Structure 1
Amino acid sequence: MIRRILLATALVGITLSASACNTVKGLGQDVESVGEAGDDAV
């Protein structure tokens, strides 16, 4: 029973980590594009 709970928790953690990685990558691209737009405006 405890082994199943640990396995489920690990799978949820891995899934959330993978989706968070994509979110952070997208945020980084957004920040980069804003910086480039600022450079173009100056």
Structure 2
Amino acid sequence: MMNRLLALMLLITISGLFGCNTMEGAGKDIQRGGDAVSETARDVKADM
């Protein structure tokens, strides 16, 4: 019983660590997309 509990706790911990890395990567991708939109908007405004 103790081995199963330990294995479950380890699995939850590892899943949490991978989840944090995934969310960080998604945040960076979203930020890059926002930067591209902002840059395009500046270009369009400059052409007007």
TM bucket normalised to smaller: over 0.9
Higher Cα radius of gyration = 2
Matches within 5 A, 1:17-32: 17-32=16-31
Amino acid at match of 2:16: S
Q: Does 1:10 align with 2:12?
A: no
Amino acid at match of 2:19: A
Question: Normalised by the size of structure 1, how large is the TM-score?
Answer: 0.93
5+ unaligned residues in a row in structure 1: which ranges? none
Question: Normalised by the size of structure 2, how large is the TM-score?
Answer: 0.82
Identity %: 29
1:9, distance to aligned residue in structure 2 (A): 0.2
CA RMSD after TM alignment: 0.5
